[in-house]
């Protein structure tokens, strides 16, 4: 049987939780409802009606399961939320959307009605949206087959489950309320008491359409009686959208609503009329033939034909899914009301009802909206999309271990661990018949409880006297005994009231009851007296010291001892004995010091211990265990009486060997509460049966037992018992971590608490825990306890346990780093560490992965990355530098693989930190002073992996540091940090670069990325690169990698050149002299050719990005040249005598760029407007500087390009730029003029622009076009 992975919670009701889930081993996501078993009738009804239905407008049922505590329903996942949510968000929907949604609703409902199913509770919250916007009917809890009585079905299912124990009438009354849905969309005839029908569903459909359009239902009131009045007697107001700016309802829509919301069901629209209504605009035209006979086709019974045995289908809930269904096909099987037991969910493998088949995932998936609608009593609390924020509730500051353990002790026992249920009349122990009395033979006034409470003292005394007189009567006739029994039954009834019980227990009647318990000859009377005493003890609100409870306890003990082999007698007397002891214990706990008058005789404890032993009847065992459970909940002398050496093993035996879950839970709960007083009780169990057996029991137990067992371990660990053994037991730790997959919040919280005790005393287990995904479990549950979300009591407890665990782990990290540093410092500079030093290294270095786990977690990262952490980390890197250089040797101590793994994890940890620059914002100087120097040294490592890793880290860190914006008041710190960074790069890093750039790939790529990061934002670094004489070496890299122009190395080279050219302080003349022009021409030619190649689609994006960078470089170079030439011409024109030689030299160096004209023109029509913009600017400057020297500038292809552009470009600015380029070409080169004369399309384009007049912009375009035409002789 496949397990399911549960992801985040996507909906919640009072008794149901909805998870997004996935079947293990597949990628099929589903919605999984985890429901209390008390909702079996609703879930069973849902399954029986939908397990065969496959329809696009109905949520598909997949399968269902039963585990020990829950029913699990697996259905189709709808990611769009509910219609109720859509209406709430949009307030109202446009009529077109209402029509589109309405078509889905009609299609789904029509299909249900054809199958004979009535939905009965149509409302917006039961309609879900699939991603594309398809509406689907969900939650068939209250749907039914037409003509059947759903109340009877619910009653039968409840009775089958055991829900009928308290009386058939009570169950029927409760079912009557359970089958009622939302009143707001209920039809008038249903409100008046008639049964659901097709027409009542159509009324609800009308209400839904009305609400979608107007944003509110047609009938609404907070007062139920007023709402009923409106539904039955008032006409709805015309639908008006909440947003007044929206269009009003069309006449077709109003007519449709009038037809659906007719009070008289006979006048309401039929399916035939509804499907043919003009509002739908013939959407259902293809179904006209079917719908015209619809009313006669819908059957009135559930007698479906089918050859397959229904029982076979029910044993395999998804058995019917293989059969496809055509529209209008009837259900193939009948789930008769008399046989609800046939409908059974799957259990887990081997019939084990094990919750662990549904595993909570520690990996979140993207949030989806509620996947299913829950039943009326299960209002859903919708979860908003999760924000990935760290747990912010943890207070800052260090917590001592003493304070930590003090707070942990407060969390060991929760209210749910100490729940008290009655010992007497407890149906889980033994079902008692209801107490009845006959008022006719009651020889005193049969006062009600309310009357007795308000009796005056005199009347009360008279009443007591009559009661005592009848009980004390010595008449021995059968009638007298029957009357006495009848009186005792009456007293048992009234003893259930606290005030009455308190008054009776402190009256003479109580002493008389004890006396007759001793002397009554009739055991029926004795049994009824014992029950009466037990009920008084159970319900009294206080106990006075003069009450003879010890006398009653002593007597009950003697009676049990004297008749110990009489099991029935023990079952009669034990509950009373237990209630009396528990009453004394609770009163003593209130008064906070023991009373001698309430000392329970030792014989009572002995009797109860005997009742626990093997061989006794199950009911007797259960009663004795229940007494211990209740009494030991208190801190009293009575609780101490049960603490013996054998109590733990005896209760454990009951837990292990009982076949009844309720007894097993009581036994382990009693052991849990005894351990609260004496942890040695659980220690004795472990010593007797073995730790392995106890751990196995924990792993395989049901949820409630797991909760108690985790409490037992917490209590024992808090006292140090078995501490050293448990904290070293890996199986124990692994079992506890597996419990973090439990669906129970309490179990996960207690598992975190047990883990915390282990980690406090053995931090090496932190590594095992992290490897077992502890950090991911913490992240998952941290999201559920995020501030701002409504906290349930379970989540609040989980949050408190998590807080302490996270706090401890945060405080543990500096200790781990400190141990690692000490171990490395002890061997620093040593070639051969000693045995002790080697042992220390083996213990400490393997803990480095813990650091990586914590810094990659959104919960821990903001708390662990501090200045102290970065300083320690930098020091570890310095030791790694020493190890890498061979100065220190740890390979012999820990092994080569362990040494390399340690270095790799250390570097990975810092890589994780720098992904979040905000963490380093306040610690820039620490990073520069302590972390970057050893990283720079590792660039020279002989290990290629470390060399690459350190280059990558340097690149990202440097980029991060130079991009930091200083905070107010920190400018001086940042200046010092920048100066130190500059010195480090200048003096240590750049001198290595000539060698680094000549290394095999991918070393140059990472090295160049670092230079790109350095030069991108800070001109100082640009000057450093120029001064380091690296430019020729970079150009050599271009030559070596020119065959792979789109590779990472070339991309980094181009990015670096772009930064150099863009920097205002760059020495462009030097770059030109070193060969910049030649290399840019070569790179541009290859890249542009790739981009213009229509057949090359594989690397289009990369080539386009590279081309854009090269265009930027080209534009920067041309702009610089143009500026120099312009200044020289201005100086010459003004007569200032300035030399033009520098400009002429620069023009000569840049002359190869002329060849790019023939590539720039084909780039102009590029789809990217930015490429057109930069290409046209480059082209304009080129022809301004060099004229039409390129003979191919106005080739026929380029002339066509100009013609197309002048025709397609509508912006006058673009047209003017193109015309000026054209004019410059033809006026500077006669050959181009001749080419123009023969370019017919280009001339026609110019003629199209020449006559344009009007605005000044257009006239300038026209004049330019005219000028070119005139030059061409037109």
Residue positions annotated with a catalytic role = 121
Report the distance separating Cα 670 and Cα 651, nearest Å.
Answer: 8
Report the distance separating Cα 434 and Cα 68, nearest Å.
Answer: 29
| DSSP codes, 505-528 | HTSHHHHHHHHHHHH-S-HHHHHH
SS3 734: helix
Which residues are within 8 A (CB) of 188 and not within 5 positions of it... i.e. 6 or more apart? 203, 231, 232, 263
CA distances from 1232 to 136, 179, 222, 1158 (A): 70, 91, 86, 13
Report the distance separating Cα 590 and Cα 543, nearest Å.
Answer: 11
Q: Is it true that the peptide bond before 1002 is cis, omega within 30 degrees of 0?
A: yes
Q: In this structure, how many other beta carbons lie within 10 angstroms of the beta carbon of residue 445?
A: 14
> Would you say the C-alpha torsion 121, 125, 126, 132 has a positive or negative sign?
positive
Is the separation of the CB atoms in 1045 and 1089 below 8 Å? Answer: no
Report the distance separating Cα 429 and Cα 422, nearest Å.
Answer: 10
H/E element holding 761?
helix 745-761
Q: What's the token pair of residue 910?
A: 């810092």
Q: Which residue has the tokens 């789904």?
A: 108
Q: Which residue has the tokens 């001086």?
A: 972
What torsion, rounded to 10 degrees, do the Cα atoms 112, 116, 120, 124 define? 0
Report the distance separating Cα 425 and Cα 435, nearest Å.
Answer: 11
Q: What's the token pair of residue 557?
A: 């003990």
Report the distance separating Cα 209 and Cα 224, nearest Å.
Answer: 22
Nearest to 629 by CA among 885, 899, 422, 852: 422
Is the separation of the CB atoms in 623 and 632 below 8 Å? Answer: no
CA distances from 459 to 452, 462, 731, 1224 (A): 9, 5, 69, 124
Report the distance separating Cα 600 and Cα 553, nearest Å.
Answer: 7
Report the distance separating Cα 825 and Cα 819, nearest Å.
Answer: 10
Report the distance separating Cα 1019 and Cα 481, nearest Å.
Answer: 110
Q: What's the token pair of residue 1207?
A: 């025709």
As beta bridge partners, residue 11 has 18
Which residues are within 8 A (CB) of 1023 and not within 5 positions of it... i.e. 6 or more apart? 1065
The stretches of 53-94 forming alpha helices (DSSP H) are 83-90
Query: Degrees (nearest 5) of the Cα angle 1202, 1205, 1207?
Result: 110
Report the distance separating Cα 1273 and Cα 1238, nearest Å.
Answer: 11
As beta bridge partners, residue 36 has 70
The dihedrals phi and psi of 6, each to the nearest 5 degrees, come to -95, 130
SS3 325: coil
As beta bridge partners, residue 18 has 11, 33
Is the separation of the CB atoms in 138 and 127 below 8 Å? Answer: yes
Is the separation of the CB atoms in 57 and 336 below 8 Å? Answer: no
Report the residue count for the chain. Answer: 1274
Nearest to 26 by CA among 47, 44, 4: 4
SS3 728: helix
């Amino acid at each position: 049987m496949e397990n399911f992975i549960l992801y985040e919670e996507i909906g919640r009701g009072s008794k149901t939780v909805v998870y997004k889930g996935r079947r293990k081993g597949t990628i099929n996501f589903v919605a999984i409802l985890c429901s209390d078993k008390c909702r079996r009738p609703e879930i069973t009804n849902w399954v029986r009606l939908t397990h065969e239905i496959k329809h696009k407008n109905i949520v598909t049922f997949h399968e269902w399961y039963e585990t020990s505590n829950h029913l699990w329903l697996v259905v189709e996942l709808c990611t769009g939320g509910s219609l109720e949510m859509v209406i709430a968000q949009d307030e109202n929907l446009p009529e077109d959307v209402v029509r589109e949604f309405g078509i889905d609703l009609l299609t789904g409902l029509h299909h249900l009605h054809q199958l004979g199913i009535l939905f009965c509770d149509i409302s917006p919250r039961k309609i879900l949206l699939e991603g594309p916007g398809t509406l689907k009917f969900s939650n068939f809890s209250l749907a039914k087959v037409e003509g059947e009585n759903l109340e009877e079905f619910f009653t039968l299912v409840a009775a089958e489950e055991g829900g009928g124990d308290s009386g058939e009438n009570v169950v029927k009354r409760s079912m009557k309320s359970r089958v009622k849905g939302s009143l707001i969309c209920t039809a008038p005839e249903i409100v008046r008491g008639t049964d659901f029908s097709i027409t009542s569903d159509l009324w609800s459909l009308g209400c839904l359409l009305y609400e979608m359009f107007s944003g509110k239902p047609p009938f609404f009131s907070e007062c139920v009686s007023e709402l009923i009045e409106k539904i039955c007697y008032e006409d709805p107001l015309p639908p008006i959208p909440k947003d007044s700016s929206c269009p009003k309802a069309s006449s077709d829509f109003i007519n449709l609503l009038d037809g659906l919301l007719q009070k008289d069901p006979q006048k309401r629209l039929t399916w035939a009329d509804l499907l043919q209504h003009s509002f739908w605009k013939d959407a259902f035209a293809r179904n006209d033939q079917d719908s015209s006979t619809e009313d006669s086709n819908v059957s009135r019974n559930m007698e479906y034909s089918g050859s397959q045995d229904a029982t076979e289908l029910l044993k395999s809930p998804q058995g019917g899914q293989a059969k496809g269904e055509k529209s209008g096909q009837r259900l193939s099987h009948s789930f008769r009301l008399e046989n609800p037991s046939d409908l059974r969910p799957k259990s887990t493998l081997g019939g084990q009802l094990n919750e662990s088949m549904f595993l909570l995932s520690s990996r979140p998936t993207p949030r989806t909206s509620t996947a299913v609608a829950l039943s009326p009593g299960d209002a859903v609390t919708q979860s908003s999309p999760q924000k990935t924020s760290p747990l912010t509730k943890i207070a800052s500051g260090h917590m001592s271990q003493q304070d930590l353990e003090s707070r942990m002790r407060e969390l060991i026992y929760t209210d749910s661990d100490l729940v008290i249920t009655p010992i007497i009349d407890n149906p889980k122990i033994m079902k008692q018949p209801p107490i009845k009395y006959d008022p006719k033979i009651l020889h005193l006034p049969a006062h009600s409880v309310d009357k007795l409470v308000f009796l005056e003292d005199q009347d009360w005394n008279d009443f007591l006297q009559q009661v005592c007189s009848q009980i004390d009567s010595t008449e021995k006739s059968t009638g007298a005994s029957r009357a006495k029994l009848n009186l005792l039954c009456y007293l048992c009834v009234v003893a259930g009231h606290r005030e009455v019980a308190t008054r009776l227990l402190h009256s003479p009647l109580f002493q008389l009851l004890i006396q007759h318990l001793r002397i009554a000859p009739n055991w029926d009377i004795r049994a009824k007296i014992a029950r009466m005493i037990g009920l008084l003890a159970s319900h009294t609100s206080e106990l006075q010291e003069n009450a003879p409870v010890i006398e009653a306890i002593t007597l009950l003990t003697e009676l049990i001892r004297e008749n110990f082999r009489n099991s029935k007698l023990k079952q009669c007397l034990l509950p009373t004995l237990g209630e009396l002891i528990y009453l004394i214990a609770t009163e003593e706990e209130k008064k906070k010091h023991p009373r001698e008058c309430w000392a329970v005789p030792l014989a009572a404890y002995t009797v109860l211990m005997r009742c626990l032993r093997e061989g006794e009847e199950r009911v007797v065992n259960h009663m004795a265990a229940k007494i211990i459970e209740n009494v030991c909940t208190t801190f009293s002398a009575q609780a101490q009486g049960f603490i013996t050496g054998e109590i733990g093993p005896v209760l454990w035996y009951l837990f292990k060997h009982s076949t009844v879950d309720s007894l097993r839970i009581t036994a382990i709960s009693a052991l849990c509460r005894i351990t609260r007083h004496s942890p040695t009780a659980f220690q004795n169990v472990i010593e007797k049966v073995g730790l392995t057996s106890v751990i196995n029991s924990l792993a395989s137990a049901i949820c409630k037992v797991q909760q108690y067992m985790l409490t037992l371990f917490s209590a024992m660990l808090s006292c140090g018992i078995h501490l050293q053994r448990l904290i070293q037991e890996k199986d124990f730790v692994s079992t506890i971590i597996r419990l973090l997959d439990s669906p129970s919040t309490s179990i996960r919280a207690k598992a975190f608490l047990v883990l915390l005790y282990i980690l406090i005393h053995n931090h090496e287990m932190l590594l095992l825990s992290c490897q077992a995904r502890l950090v991911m479990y913490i992240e998952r549950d941290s999201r559920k306890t995020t501030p701002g979300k409504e906290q349930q009591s379970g989540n609040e407890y989980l949050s408190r346990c998590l807080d302490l665990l996270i706090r401890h782990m945060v405080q543990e990290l500096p200790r781990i780093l400190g141990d690692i540093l000490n171990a490395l410092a002890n061997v620093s500079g040593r070639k051969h560490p000693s045995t002790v030093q080697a042992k220390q290294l083996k213990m400490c270095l393997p803990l480095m992965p813990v650091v990586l786990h914590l810094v990659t977690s959104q919960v821990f990262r903001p708390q662990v990355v501090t200045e102290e952490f970065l300083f320690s980390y930098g020091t570890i890197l310095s030791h790694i530098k020493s190890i890498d250089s061979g100065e220190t040797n740890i390979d012999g101590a820990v092994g080569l693989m362990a040494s390399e793994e340690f270095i790799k994890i250390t570097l990975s940890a810092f890589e994780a930190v720098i992904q979040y620059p905000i963490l380093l914002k306040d610690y820039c100087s620490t990073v520069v002073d302590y972390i970057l120097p050893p990283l720079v040294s590792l660039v020279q490592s002989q290990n290629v992996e470390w060399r690459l890793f350190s280059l990558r880290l340097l690149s990202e860190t440097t980029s991060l540091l130079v991009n930091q914006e200083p905070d107010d008041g920190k400018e001086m710190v940042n200046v010092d940090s920048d100066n130190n960074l500059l010195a480090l790069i200048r003096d240590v890093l750049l001198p290595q670069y000539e060698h680094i750039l000549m290394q095999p790939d991918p070393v140059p790529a990472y090295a160049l990325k670092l230079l790109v990061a350095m030069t991108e934002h800070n001109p100082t670094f640009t000057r450093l690169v120029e001064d380091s004489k690296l430019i020729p070496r970079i150009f050599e890299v271009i030559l070596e990698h020119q065959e792979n122009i789109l590779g990472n190395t070339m991309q980094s080279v181009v990015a670096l050149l772009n930064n150099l050219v863009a920097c205002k302080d760059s020495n462009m003349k030097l770059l030109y002299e070193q060969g910049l022009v030649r290399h840019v021409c070569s790179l541009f030619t290859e890249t542009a050719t790739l981009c213009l190649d229509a057949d090359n689609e594989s690397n289009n994006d990369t080539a386009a990005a590279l081309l854009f960078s090269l265009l930027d470089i080209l534009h920067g170079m041309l702009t610089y040249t143009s500026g120099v030439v312009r200044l020289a011409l201005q100086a010459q024109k003004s007569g200032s005598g300035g030399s033009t030689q520098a400009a002429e030299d620069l023009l000569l160096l840049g002359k190869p760029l002329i060849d790019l004209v023939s590539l720039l023109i084909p780039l102009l029509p590029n789809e990217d407007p930015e490429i057109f913009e930069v290409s046209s600017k480059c082209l304009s400057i080129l022809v301004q500087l060099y004229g039409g020297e390129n003979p191919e500038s106005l080739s026929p292809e380029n002339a066509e390009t100009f013609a197309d552009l002048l025709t397609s470009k509508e912006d006058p600015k673009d047209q003017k730029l193109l015309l000026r380029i054209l004019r410059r070409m033809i006026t500077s080169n006669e050959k181009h003029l001749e080419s123009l004369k023969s370019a017919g399309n280009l001339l026609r384009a110019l003629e199209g622009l020449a006559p344009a007049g009007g605005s000044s912009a257009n006239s300038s375009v026209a004049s330019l076009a005219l000028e070119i035409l005139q030059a061409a002789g037109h």
